[in-house]
Amino acid sequence: MNKLSELLSEQISPEAIADAIKTMDMTWHVRQLFDALPVHGNTSDDNVRRAALLGIVNVATHHLTLHCTEYGNLSVQIPQGSTASSLYSVPGCTLLFAMNDQSFTVDLYNVFDDHLALKERAVVREGQPLLIEGPHTLFDCHPCTQDHCAIVGSLNWPDRTADISVFDRESLRKIAWFPHDESAARFLVSLELLEATQDPGLGKIAEELIYHYHPAVAWKAFQVIHHLSPQAATHYVPLLRQLDNPHLDGLLDQWSQAA
């Protein structure tokens, strides 16, 4: 088994893995995983293989995932040539590493409820990985230039209960958010569709989803219940408080003041 995949096969702390990869040939290990990718249509034609690889690249994040387990995932990315207008938080913990003896630069931002604040600029070099705590720090890799283009390697331990926050690059203000958890996103969309179509079973579904572990789903279900029966909604406030989510608690405080 590849040493990198071994590190993700059990629950090892990100700090311990960061120490381990300082002395590993990350270029060699990543190339091994790359060559082992299950690309459909095994062929010796390099052009066909390249086309198949492009098909498994995440077009939203420009990442190619090389290995994934229940604990975390490993991916590589070439930063976009042009700077995107928004910055996205990465829930969980991320370990950035360099390969091919090519360094890359990242901007680090402190994350607050409604804005970012530039913290520092860091250079990631081979043998010097950078560990980033997602809840507190947002990172932004500098795009490739004509003179310098490095592959960014990353190990990520996701927090599926957290949200992905979106910030405007210029103002650094928070402009949107969406759930990192796929099931939470599906439930949110489903509630909105049922609400838009005035489905008669909306209330019953909301009463089930109010117990969902993701605060965004529970809050949306609470809003639906409150719209249908304000008095019934009050009975669910203690339940939502048990999620111990500061953002949700703030919304409940605003709701209590307006009620």
Class of domain 3-179: mainly beta
Quick check: 179 and 213 in contact, CB under 8 A? no
Q: What are phi and psi of 163, to 5 degrees?
A: -105, 155
- Structure confidence at residue 33 (pLDDT): 86
Residues of the chain with pLDDT under 50: none
42: its two tokens: 């095994």
The rounded Cα 102 to chain-centroid distance in angstroms is 25
Q: Would you list the domain boundaries of the chain?
A: 3-179, 182-258
Using a 10 angstrom Cβ sphere, with 0-12 exposed, 13-18 middle and 19 or more buried, the burial of residue 207 is middle
- Structure confidence at residue 133 (pLDDT): 92
For 105, residues 6+ apart whose C-beta sits below 8 A from its C-beta are 121, 122, 123, 124, 141, 142
- Structure confidence at residue 226 (pLDDT): 94
Q: What angle do CA 59, 90, 26 make, to 5 degrees?
A: 75
Quick check: 172 and 115 in contact, CB under 8 A? yes
Q: Sheet of 104-111: strands edge to edge?
A: 116-124, 104-111, 137-141
* pTM score: 0.68
- Structure confidence at residue 235 (pLDDT): 93
- Structure confidence at residue 171 (pLDDT): 93
